[in-house]
Structure 1
Amino acid sequence: MGSAPARAAARARRRCCGCVRMLVPVLATLIHLCAAFNLDPETRAVFSGPRGSYFGYSVEFFSNSSSVLIGAPKANTSQPNITEGGAVFLCPWRQSNCSIINFDEQGRLSKKNWINIEFKSHQWFGATVRSHGNNTLACAPRYYWRTERDLPFADVTGTCFLSVDGLKTFVEFAPCRTERHGPAGQGYCQGGFSADFTKDGRVVLGGPGSFYWQGQLISATTEEIVKAYYPSYFLLSVAGQIQTRQAQGNYDDSYLGEKFTWGDQKFQLQTHLFRALEFAIFDLKLFISSLGCNVFQMGSYFGYAVAATDINSDGLDDLVVGAPLFMSRGSDGHLEELGKVYVYLQRGPLLLEPSQPHLLGPQAFGRFGSSLAPLGDLNQDGFNGTSFSDVQIFASDSFHADEWPFCFRLSYRLSLWRRRRAGFGFHLYWSR
C-alpha cells in the first residue's frame, strides 16, 4: 500500500495536476484591451520563464506597479539545498524581462542532529498567487513538515507567504501547521491549494485535505496575520482566525476548499464539494448544501473551476461552474470528452436557479471549463462577460440575457501562434 507520505504525495500530485496531467505550461499570455470586442489577439504581451518550471501555472495582476505576477511552481531559486521549490515572478507590463520575488530565501529548517523539520523541495510554491492592492499572497500547497512528535513521517500541510507593503516585507501564514497531525487532523491539509482575498482584503485559504479530505476554509485579516508572525516560532496561532470545523464521516473525501470564488455581499462565497458532486455556499459562518447529486455527470469534475459574476445585470452575482471532463456522444455514437460549463442565476439571497441550456465544449479532449474568469462588460452592452479555457469568451446578449448568447473563440484567431503552446488557456485572470 505504501507509506502515509507516499500516499499523500500521490494525492497531491493528482490534485495539483488535476485534469490536465499532460500539461506543461511554459507561457503566460495576456491580451491587451482595445476597441471592437475589446480583445485584440494581435496586440499582446508575452512573458516566458525557465524551461520546465511550469511558468504560467498561475497568473495575477499586480496593480500597485502595473505588473503581472506569474507563478512557476517547479522553478529553482537561490534557496540553499532546495530542488524545484517554486517561485513567483514579477513581470513589468511594458517589459519582456521578469524577476523572481524573494518571498522566502531560507532553506529547510533542521534540528541539531540534522533531522529535517520541513521539506521545501517540490513544494509547488507559486501554484497559487493572489493580489489585493499592496498585498500579495503566494502559496506552496505541497509543503511538508515533520511533526514535533518525532514521528517517522511528515505532514503535507502547505504554507503561504504574505506581503502587505508592495513586495518589501514578507510573513509566513501556515494555519494548517498545527499539532493536529495526520489525516484525521490537518496533516494533509495542503493549505493554499486555493486562496483569495475578499473584496475588503481578508485572506481566505482552502485546505482540501483536512479531516480525511473533508477539506476546510480558513480566513484571517492581513493585520491579524502580520501581528501573529514571529520568525523564531514554528507553530503560530492567529488571533481572530476563523475556519470551518470537521464534519460527520459521510463528508470524508469531499475536498472542500479545493476551489472557491467570491460574489457580492448577499452571495458571498461559493465553493464545491468535489467528490460529493454538489456545491456549497459558505459565508464564513453559514454552510448550506444545495442541488441534488443526480444533476451532474459522475466523473465530470464538476466544480473544477468556479467564477461569480452578474451575468444578467440584475444586481446579483451569478455562479458559473466548470466540468472539464464532461462526456457526450458524438454523431458516431461514441463518447467524447468535451467539457461543460454550467450557469446558475441568483434569484435571491442563497437562491440559485440553473440556466438552460448549459454550454458544451466544442472540441474533443479540449477540457472546456478547466478555468473560468469574469471579464466585466467587454463589448459595452450593459452585461458582463465570462471567459472559459480554450479560450472562450462568453458575452451576454442584451435581449436574451437568460439564454446562452454569442461565443467568441479567441483560440481560433491565435491558432497559428499557439500551435506549439500546449496548455494555452490553463489559467485565466481578469484585472479587478
Structure 2
Amino acid sequence: MMGFSAVGVQALERDENILLGAPGYRDFSGTVIRQWTDNREEQLELEKLLEVVDSRLPTFNSYLGYAITTGFFDANLEYVVIGAPRHRHFDGKVLIHPLSDFSERKRNRFQGYLIEVNGKPEAKGEYFGASLLALDINNDKFDDLIVGAPLYSTNRDRDIGRIYGTEFIKEELITGHKSGGRFGSAMSSSDINLDGYRDAIIGAPYESNSDGSMGAVYIYMGSELGLNLKFRRIGA
C-alpha cells in the first residue's frame, strides 16, 4: 500500500489552494489537506468528526479521502465531499463538510452531513464512496451528488458496480450492466449536447466488449427532471 500513507491519492486544484486526499493517514483513518499557494497548510482531522457522528466503531482503515470533490448544495455555501469506502468494516460512508469551516480550529462549528447505505446486506464491501461527482443535473443552480460503489455485487453478478444519485440525501440507484465491470469506478460530467444541463459520464473499466477489449463509459443526459436513464454506451 505504498503511497496511500502519503498525500496525493486524489487532488482538486482550486484558484489559490489544492485539496489533497490522504486515505492512509493514521492507520488508514484518512484525512484531507488543503495546501495554499503561499505554503500555508490546513488539515481537517476528519476521523475525529466521524467518531462524533458515528461512535459505534473506530475509524481506522476507513480510507477517508479516497475520493474528494466539492459542490454548491446550498445557496452561496460550498462543501467538500469526502469518501470513506471502508468505514465501519466496509460499509462505506461519505462525509459532506462546509469548506469554509475546513481548518481544525473550527471543528466545533461542524455542521456537515453523513451519507451511508442502510438496510441492504449486499451493500457491505461495495466500496461506497470510492468515487464522487458533483454536478448540476437539472440546471437549478445547485449541485447534485452522485456516489460510486464499484464493487457492488449480487449472488449472480460479482463487482457489477452501481451509483447512488442522492440529490444530496435522497437515494436513487443505477446498477451496472455487466458482471465484473466495476461500474462507477470513475465519474465525470460535461454538457455533451449543449442543452444547458450537465450530463453524467460513468466509467466501467473492467467491462468486457464484443471484440475482446476491456472498458466502457456510460453517458446519462441531464434534464429538468433529472438524469435520463436511457444511456449511451461507448466501448474501448
TM-score under structure 1 length normalisation: 0.43
Q: Which letter maps to 1:262? A: T
Would you say the 8 A contact 1:278–1:289 is kept in 2? no
Structure 1: distance between partners of 2:84 and 2:113: 9
Give the structure with the larger strand fraction: 2
Structure-2 residue corresponding to 1:62:
none
- Describe the superposition over 1:101-159 as per-residue Cα deviations: whole angstroms up to 9, x where unpaired: xxxxxxxxxxxxxxxxxxxxxxxxxxxxxxxxxxxxxxxxx2xxxxxxxxxxxxxxxxx
Structure-1 residue corresponding to 2:54:
none
- Deviation of 1:292 (Å): 4.3
Would you say the 8 A contact 2:189–2:200 is kept in 1? yes
Does residue 345 of the first structure (1) align with residue 185 of the second (2)?
A: no
* Secondary structure, aligned partner of 2:95: strand
**Larger RCO of the pair (alpha carbons < 8 Å, separation 6+):** 2
- Deviation of 1:318 (Å): 1.0
Structure 2: distance between partners of 1:325 and 1:335: 10
- Describe the superposition over 1:142-186 as per-residue Cα deviations: whole angstroms up to 9, x where unpaired: 2xxxxxxxxxxxxxxxxxxxxxxxxxxxxxxxxxxxxxxxxxxxx
Q: Which letter maps to 2:170? A: E
Structure 2: distance between partners of 1:360 and 1:293: 14
Structure 2: distance between partners of 1:203 and 1:216: 14
- Describe the superposition over 1:342-395 as per-residue Cα deviations: whole angstroms up to 9, x where unpaired: 11114xxxxx322x3x211111111111100011x2213332101011211110
Of 4, 8, 13, the match for 1:192: 8
Structure 2: distance between partners of 1:290 and 1:213: 19
Structure-2 residue corresponding to 1:214:
29
- Deviation of 1:336 (Å): 3.8
Does residue 391 of the first structure (1) align with residue 213 of the second (2)?
A: no
User: What percentage of residue pairs aligned between the two structures are identical?
Assistant: 26
Would you say the 8 A contact 2:132–2:146 is kept in 1? yes
Would you say the 8 A contact 2:33–2:42 is kept in 1? yes
Q: Once structures 1 and 2 are overlaid, which stretch shifts more, 282-291 or 296-305?
A: 282-291
- Deviation of 1:397 (Å): 3.4
Of 303, 310, 322, the match for 2:136: 310
Q: Which letter maps to 1:254? A: S
Structure 2: distance between partners of 1:211 and 1:289: 23
Of 97, 100, 114, the match for 1:290: 114
Structure-1 residue corresponding to 2:206:
none
Structure 1: distance between partners of 2:202 and 2:233: 10
Structure 2: distance between partners of 1:295 and 1:255: 22
Q: How many residues align?
A: 198
Structure 2 residue ranges without an equivalent (≥5): 52-56, 104-109, 204-215
Would you say the 8 A contact 2:128–2:148 is kept in 1? yes
* Secondary structure, aligned partner of 2:58: helix
Would you say the 8 A contact 1:280–1:287 is kept in 2? no
Of 247, 258, 261, the match for 2:66: 258
Structure-2 residue corresponding to 1:275:
86
Q: Which letter maps to 2:41? A: Q
* Secondary structure, aligned partner of 1:211: helix
- Deviation of 1:303 (Å): 1.3
Structure 1 residues 206 and 371: alpha-carbon distance in aligned structure 2, compared to 1, 3 A threshold: same
* Secondary structure, aligned partner of 1:312: coil
- Describe the superposition over 1:166-218 as per-residue Cα deviations: whole angstroms up to 9, x where unpaired: xxxxxxxxxxxxxxxxxxxxxx73211111113x3311111111122111111
Does residue 243 of the first structure (1) align with residue 24 of the second (2)?
A: no
Structure-2 residue corresponding to 1:369:
184
Structure 1: distance between partners of 2:111 and 2:24: 18
- Describe the superposition over 1:303-323 as per-residue Cα deviations: whole angstroms up to 9, x where unpaired: 111111011211111111111
Structure 1 residues 336 and 213: alpha-carbon distance in aligned structure 2, compared to 1, 3 A threshold: closer
Instruction: Let me know the Cα RMSD of the aligned residues.
Output: 2.2
Structure-2 residue corresponding to 1:78:
none
Would you say the 8 A contact 1:267–1:317 is kept in 2? no
Q: Which letter maps to 1:252? A: F
- Deviation of 1:339 (Å): 0.8
Instruction: Describe how 1:58-137 pairs up with structure 2 within 5 A.
Output: none
Does residue 406 of the first structure (1) align with residue 230 of the second (2)?
A: yes
Structure 1: distance between partners of 2:119 and 2:111: 20
Q: Which letter maps to 2:180? A: F
Structure 1 residues 275 and 312: alpha-carbon distance in aligned structure 2, compared to 1, 3 A threshold: same
